Structure 1
Amino acid sequence: MSQFLSIIGWSFLPNIATSWIQTIYYGLTIRAGDPRPQPGSPRFNHHRRNIHILVIALYLAYTIYEADYDLRRQGSFYTDLGVPFSASDRDIKSRFRRLAALHHPDKTGADAAADSAAYFIHLKAASDTLQDAAKRFAYERLGPETVAWQKCVTVRDYVARGVFSGILPHYAVAAGSIYVLGLLGYMDFGKFYRWLILLSLCVFEIQAVTRPRFPALLDGLNFLFAATASHPPYLPFQLISLARKLTITIYIALSQIGPLLKMDASPSRRSADDDNELLLQGLNRLEAITGQFDADSTRLMDMEMAPFKGDAEATANLQGKMREWLIQNTIRADPMVRDALGTSLRKRRVDVPAGAKGNR
């Protein structure tokens, strides 16, 4: 059920989170009043691509943590009894006796009798399983469901049932699903790596189930956990269960992040028609803004000239002063105009001093 909910979450949560984060990003990086990139524009698509990749990577990390947390919460027979993986039969029996003295239904009150009985039965099953060499071997590699395999007696029986009724059918269904989804056009990105991961995991699982010792990878992880004291050690069936869950999650992540990685990071080039259309739209907006500025300037000028309305002499005097101010402060102050005037005067006056700029 949790795996099904995880798949549903992968189908819509990254897109929702990407939209929210992109909106927040624009709110923090774009000043109020400045235009934001419009949906569909190259800049908008570039930002959405990068944010979506980040969201998928973070969600993948979260699903890995969640799967690991579920495994630790479920525990194992070793953690329930409080003994290490290397505990002997004598240590297991001694530990069970101490726990039985605490949790036996006869030792607890009537209110907790039902819970105590269930927990005591669980401890008894754990103790019996770990004290039987064949059952212990099967439990460590195939999980707690081996307790119900009553017809299995030897290690060969457990391994045969685990391989032919659990491992091979699981990977046959997984391979068929990948093949069918590939025919339907899904999961095209990284198809080779999907098959490689599936084959590698199948080989690893068969090797972990059939060998008397734990896999070297598991020993390395457990050594690292013990050295850092950051995580309880894994049993083979726990690592296999985690790998199966992560394989599905990684497949989904690849199907979403793959097309984004294949996209060019730079904005895509538009066609000539699109460029012309954008240019025309920009010119139209510029023309509209210019017309608005012209109307505003005319209105302001009319407001400034209102006191002189009806007085022709004052109006003419004001216009003359404005013309003189424009000539003195705008036209004559321009270096290019001054140089042009100097050149013109040099042509007219032969005796003009060298280097004159026409300002005499």
Structure 2
Amino acid sequence: MAYSGHLSLATDQLISFAGWFFLGHVSSPTRPFNSSILISGFTGGQLAPVHLLLPHHPRRQPQAHPGSPQYLAHRRAIHISVVVLYLLYTIYEADWQLQRTGDFYRLLSIPLDADERTIQSRFRRLAAQFHPDKLPPTVTPAASATATAHFMRLQLARDALVSGPRRFAYDRFGPDVLMPRWSHCLTVHDFVSHGFLHLYLPFYLSTAAFMFLANLAGYMTWGRYWRWLAFASMAAFEGRVISAPELPFVVARVLNPIFRVLGHPPYLPFQAVVVARKVLVAVFVALQQVAPLLRPPMKTQMSEAERLRLLVERQEMLVMGAHMKVGKLLEEELRPFMGDGEALVELQAKLEERHVRNAIEEDGEVRAAVERARAGTRGYANGSLAHGELQVPLEVDSPGIQPVDQGHLG
């Protein structure tokens, strides 16, 4: 069998997770993933062919400049697509490897619920075909060696499945239970205890230590809660698989019925664990690399000097816009006088006079004096002011009316 055991599986998972963690550390929301850089290089640095796959783009090659919002958005889409597709490929590759390796049930061509009598009967028929003594004398040495090796695998399969405790252990830990270090196990409790201590605990303790140290070092900060939740869920799932007498519900009632319809071989418990661990690694990678890109950009805190600078720049832009608008309005007003020099000179004099008058009227002291004069005039006209209280003489503009001498008013 090409499958090398559960311990090598744990090592493979840790190496895979460490490699993806390194790529996640190199990558960040502001520093795209290396694979997107490779794709950018293959497309000439402008991401032109990739634009054809994105929505709202006709069949053309827009040149998005590096650093522009369009360029960053498309590069982010490439990053997410590459990571997600590769994660799906790793899960498919794990399933393909399991199907290529096979298992003892498929080797003997028996169902998963076959009893001991069915297993022995099937083995005798296969032994009559592949036993070295049954081979014809004209067979080549290479074919004889192949048949002998196949017969030995059939014997291993029969020995593993006819024993109740060993069959229970094989379904949950794989062919590793046939190794010499498992030879002291005789009961189901022995097999489960050995697998728990030598396979289950080393993998999850080493993975938890790696995650904890990475968090202390300031890495893997995105989705920390969900990462630990996925890790705990996977540990509970595998603990349920290696200790329960039946398959988990999701495998027995969901995956295996779908596999029967699709013609895919059903999963044994240890095969479900292999794929579930790949899914766990995929969740870790998605939280490390994809999740930060799906979140809106965080607003950074600005210092007081930066805030004032932005405010001044905004005011300058508003003043420039108002100046341009006033200039256009003035140009429209002066359009009828264009070409008439005397009219322009007269208009300029009138504007200067109006400007001076407005400046005088807007002066605070002048406005206060005018208000006092108006108040005094109203009080004298109403008879509320005594003789001599009116300090500002009235101007009489009507012809024939002479100013009243205040000395004769008594």
TM-score range, shorter chain: 0.5 to 0.7
- Please tell me whether the aligned partners of residues 94 and 274 of structure 2 are also in contact (alpha carbons under 8 angstroms): no
Note the alpha carbon deviations across 1:7-62, whole angstroms, 9 max, x for none: 6589376324552473312478588796x221112221122112221222222211
Q: Which has the larger radius of gyration?
A: 2
- Please tell me whether the aligned partners of residues 108 and 122 of structure 2 are also in contact (alpha carbons under 8 angstroms): yes
Matched residue, 1:25? 50
Q: Which sits farther off after the overlay, 15-24 or 144-153?
A: 15-24
Question: Partner letter of residue 154 of structure 2?
Answer: L
Matched residue, 1:329? none
Change (3 A) 1:33 1:169: closer
Aligned-partner Cα distance in 2 for 1:252–1:196: 14
Question: Partner letter of residue 81 of structure 1?
Answer: L
3-state SS, counterpart of residue 234 of structure 1: coil
The answer to whether 1:141 aligns with 2:166 is no
Q: Shift in Å at residue 264 of structure 1?
A: 3.7
Aligned-partner Cα distance in 1 for 2:260–2:156: 31
Aligned-partner Cα distance in 2 for 1:248–1:222: 20
Matched residue, 1:156? 189
Matched residue, 1:84? 111
Q: Shift in Å at residue 201 of structure 1?
A: 1.1
The answer to whether 1:224 aligns with 2:257 is yes
Aligned-partner Cα distance in 2 for 1:216–1:53: 32
Question: Partner letter of residue 49 of structure 2?
Answer: I
- Please tell me whether the aligned partners of residues 171 and 269 of structure 2 are also in contact (alpha carbons under 8 angstroms): yes
Change (3 A) 1:30 1:211: closer
Question: Partner letter of residue 82 of structure 2?
Answer: V
Aligned runs of 1:202-281 on 2, under 5 Å?
202-264=235-297
The answer to whether 1:14 aligns with 2:35 is yes
3-state SS, counterpart of residue 143 of structure 1: helix
- Please tell me whether the aligned partners of residues 14 and 59 of structure 1 are also in contact (alpha carbons under 8 angstroms): no
Q: How many equivalent residue pairs? A: 279
Matched residue, 2:99? 72
Question: Partner letter of residue 172 of structure 1?
Answer: L
- Higher normalized helix content (fraction of residues): 1
Matched residue, 1:311? none
Q: Shift in Å at residue 85 of structure 1?
A: 0.1
Question: Partner letter of residue 134 of structure 1?
Answer: P
Matched residue, 2:125? 98
- Please tell me whether the aligned partners of residues 131 and 147 of structure 2 are also in contact (alpha carbons under 8 angstroms): yes
Matched residue, 1:281? none
Match among 29, 41, 44 for residue 68 of structure 2: 41
The answer to whether 1:180 aligns with 2:202 is no
3-state SS, counterpart of residue 256 of structure 1: helix
Matched residue, 2:154? 123
- Please tell me whether the aligned partners of residues 215 and 221 of structure 2 are also in contact (alpha carbons under 8 angstroms): yes
TM-score, normalised to structure 1's length? Answer: 0.68
Q: Shift in Å at residue 259 of structure 1?
A: 1.9
Change (3 A) 1:201 1:52: same
- Please tell me whether the aligned partners of residues 173 and 242 of structure 2 are also in contact (alpha carbons under 8 angstroms): yes
Q: Shift in Å at residue 263 of structure 1?
A: 3.7
Aligned runs of 1:301-316 on 2, under 5 Å?
none
Question: Partner letter of residue 187 of structure 1?
Answer: M
Matched residue, 2:340? none
Matched residue, 2:304? none
Unaligned 5+ runs, structure 2? 1-10, 24-32, 299-306, 314-331, 337-410
3-state SS, counterpart of residue 111 of structure 1: helix
Note the alpha carbon deviations across 1:119-170, whole angstroms, 9 max, x for none: 2111101011100000000100111101121110000100110111111121
Change (3 A) 1:232 1:16: farther
TM-score, normalised to structure 2's length? Answer: 0.60
Note the alpha carbon deviations across 1:304-334, whole angstroms, 9 max, x for none: xxxxxxxxxxxxxxxxxxxxxxxxxxxxxxx
Change (3 A) 1:2 1:160: closer
Change (3 A) 1:32 1:241: closer
Q: Which sits farther off after the overlay, 16-25 or 106-115?
A: 16-25
Change (3 A) 1:139 1:13: farther
Note the alpha carbon deviations across 1:220-267, whole angstroms, 9 max, x for none: 2344325523421000000011111221233123211122122449xx
**Identity percentage of aligned residues:** 39
Change (3 A) 1:168 1:157: same
Aligned-partner Cα distance in 2 for 1:96–1:70: 25
